[in-house]
Chains A and B, each alone.
Chain A
């Protein structure tokens, strides 16, 4: 009885939800039918079901590419490093900002570090090539003053992945820090008051109250970022890489881009997309399980 009554009461809520569900069905689930293109030689005008089936040829095409393993490894490496740094740096910054007492200073810093998030990589690439230049760049001029020889941030294939991680973190840590700062405001202030009464230092407060307080957010964002493990950042790398760093800098997306230039390969592009999605799904699933088991954290 009670549940039916509830249902009736909640009808308006379901009605309000309906458009969103329909939209998700239309725009997120219906296009999944297009996955079949990964198994076809897609011909124009034949539609999704009219093109000839080629089985796993498109996947075999990718795997037969001479450097595919190197490229896959580059992608995972750069994306993985970005994911790790993308948690550590914003959390550290958020904690530091949290301990700042001057509100005006805190806000100013927050805004300044948040700004690069809105710049496009096309613009930033030009700026980075200039400031990282070994002969004239600001960074290397400073390094030379300290006695460290010029570093080829963008031209050395050992350093290039780290440059990608560094510049990506620089661009996005301000945005990440805001999320953590928001989480920090959720912590019950009485905990701090109690800790102060008990004579806890600020460092002890951070370790025993602040960090546990935002650990849920940290785990959630880390888990979600695992879904991007095969997205190493096309815009960034495409605009900054060069033949000098192909060995360590070439990623799946840039490779697919070049395939697309040579030919119209909808099938191959879809196969790559499908492959990336499957890997992401698996990783998110595993990470979620692990988080639930060890950190007792559930998103759903």
Chain B
């Protein structure tokens, strides 16, 4: 009868995870701020729709590229610092770093380079694909963490909750868009949902980032609780080794 013990998500340092969460929140805040500022200017007529589009595009493409690189490096670092199921989770999560690159580029890539039919809802489709590329790895990440036996209990519950947060922020705007442009154009109730979803869409990166930060926090707390019990830590390490042996 071997007793499974939980252990923190990161072996030596939680810094990569904290940085990753912070970057994600920061990127989310930055896009929300810049996007909101530009759209405010455009909606009050200070800049033309054309200027709005080109400025936003320029911002999204540069910021997207930089942030995607950061995401990727930090995800990989997290995977290196983590072990077991958490390592797998972060390795898969690294796939999500492709999403910021796609923002502002997805239309051209999907419909001109790959040549998909647009079905006259090109930007909706492109938005959905971008969202999916970010959301799917993140959800898998959180599912794996939620199911991980040795993941601290608080982290597991948090991961479980995060699944819904990610799903909600990602798909509510798409759902509203489909309602607004295809199913119920003109419905005042949908009009109010557009209002809500334009706020929700700003949380697309912020909330998952916050989740990661909280994960780091909970994980650190569990480290501190377990710290006096050194034997458990040793057991965890040996267990990792045997688990890695199994996986090979």
- Asked if chains A and B are in direct contact (CB within 8 A), the reply is no
Chain A residues close to B by CB (< 8 Å): none
- Which residues does B use to contact A, with CB under 8 Å? none
